[in-house]
Amino acid sequence: MTNQANRVIYLDNNATTRVAPEVLEAMLPYLTDLYGNPSSMHTFGGQVGSAVREARERVARFIGCEPDEVIFTSCGTESDSTAILSALRANPERRHIITTRIEHPAVKNLCENIATLTGHKYRVTMLKVNEEGLIDMDEYLDALSEDTAVVSVMWANNETGVILPVEEMARLAKERGIFFHTDAVQAAGKIPINLRELAIDYLSMSGHKLHAPKGIGVLYVRRGTPYVPFLAGGHQEHGRRAGTENVASIVGLGRACQLADEKLVEENSRVKALRDRLEDGLLQTIPRSLLNGHRIERLPNTCNISFEYVEGESILLHMNRHGICASSGSACTSGSLEPSHVLRAMGVPFTAAHGSIRFSLSVYNTAEEIDFVLEKMPEIIARLRQMSPFWPGD
C-alpha cells in the first residue's frame, strides 16, 4: 500500500539534497548560452569568469573568509583528500595524524590508506567517542605531539548530527603549530560558520548537501597556510586546482550559499521543531526505541533512532512502500550486516545498532509529512517485531 498521491517524503537530506529551484535557475544560462571558458581572453569567456568570481565571493561571505581563500573542487571527498595530503606534504618531517573514529569514509579511509600505503611511516590516532558521540578533550590533548602534522575532525557527524567542538580543538592545535582541517560538509547551512574568528586552516564543503548539484565542492585554505595542490595541470584556481572550472555548478553553489545563509534561521527554528516533533513522537509511541547521539550538541535537522530487535534494512523497505526515504545505520551497501562504524564507536549495542534509522530533514519538509511518518512508523515496527524471533515482547 502506498500513500495516495504516490508522493515522496524525503527525509534523507544528509545523503543528498534536492537542487533548489533558485539554484537551477542561476545555473541554466551557463549550461546553454554562456558556455565560454572562464580562462579565455575574449569577452564571451570573460563574462563567465565574472560569474565564477561572483560565486567565489558568495561562498566567502557565507563562511566568513576572503574570496582568495576559496578553492572550487569536484566534491567534499576531493576537498578532504586535498587538505590532509597538502598538510602532510608541507610538513614532511612530521609523521602523525589525529582524527576521530566517527569520520566520514572520505577522511577515515584516506587516513587508513596513508598509514598502510606508506608501510606505517605515518601513525594515525583515531580519537574515541563516548556513548553520546562526543570526544574526550583530555585524550585529544594527550595525542597532540611535536610529530603531529595535521588534525582532521569533522564539524558535525553525518549519521547522528552530533556537533564536535572544532573551534576549541583548532585553537589547541594552532597553539602547538599543528595544522587543523575540518570536514564541514554536514555543518554548512545548518549552523553558522565564521572562519575569520577561528583557528581552522582547512575546511571542506560539498554542494549536494546544500541544495546545489552533485559534483562540486569547496576547500577553504587560510591565507598563509602552506598548500600543495592535489591535481597538477593548468593554472585554474590560481594554480591551486587544475582542470577547467565546472562553471554552472560553481554558479549554483554560490547561489546555494546565499540561500543557505537566508534560511539558517528557519533551519534552526521550523526545521528543528519538525525534527523534534518527529523524534519525540517516535520515542513516545514506539516501545524500545532509543535516540543515538547527544540530544543537545546536534544539528537541527538530524535524528538517529534505534528500534531494538528489528533490521534497519527491513524498516527502510517498509517505509519505502509509503514513499518515505531515510537511511539505516547498517552497511547495506557492502552486503554485510556490520553496523555502522559510527554507532560501533559509540558502543551502541548490537541489537540496537542493527535497527537504527537516520531521519534527516530540510527546509522543504512540512508538518503534514512528519505527521504521516508518525502515523506509519509504529505499525511498521510492530509488524516487523511480530516476525522477529528475537523480539522479547512489549
Ligand X SMILES: *Cc1c(COP(=O)(O)O)cnc(C)c1O
Amino acid (1-letter code) at residue 40: S
What is the torsional sign of CA 59, 62, 63, 67? positive
The answer to whether 202 touches 86, Cβ cutoff 8 Å, is yes
Output the smallest distance, CB 108 to ligand X, in A.
10
- A 10 A CB-CB count for 118 gives 11
Strand partners, 358: 304, 327
In the complex with ligand X, which residue's Cβ is closer, 154 or 256? 154
Cell numbers linked to 161: 548530527
Residue 105 or 347 with smaller CB distance to ligand X: 105
Report, in Å, the least distance between residue 185 CB and ligand X. Answer: 4
For residue 54, how far is the Cα from the chain centroid?
25
Minimum Å gap between C-beta 76 and ligand X is 3
Q: What's at 19, amino acid-wise?
A: V
Selected catalytic residue, list 65, 257, 303, 332: 332
**Residue 289 or 340 having the CB closest to ligand X:** 340
Q: Which residues bind ligand X (CB under 6 A)?
A: 75-77, 104, 106, 154, 158, 183, 185-186, 206, 208-209, 217
To ligand X, the closest distance from the beta carbon of 192 in angstroms equals 18
Q: How far is the CB of 183 from ligand X (least distance, A)?
A: 5
Cα dihedral: 12, 358, 315, 355 (round 10): 160
Residue 186 CB, shortest distance to ligand X, in Å, is 5
Three-state DSSP class for 307?
strand
Query: In the complex with ligand X, which residue's Cβ is closer, 104 or 318?
Result: 104
Residues 9, 366: Cα–Cα separation, whole Å? 9
189 vs 217 by CB, closer to ligand X: 217
The nearer residue to ligand X, 61 or 214, going by C-beta atoms, is 214
Cα Rg of the chain (Å, integer): 22
End-to-end CA distance of the chain: 26
Please say if 332 is a catalytic residue. Answer: yes
380 close to 301: Cβ distance less than 8 angstroms = no
The DSSP annotation for 197-247 comes to GS--SEEEEEGGGTTS-SS-EEEEE-TTS----SS-SS-HHHHTS-S---H
Which residues are annotated as catalytic? 332
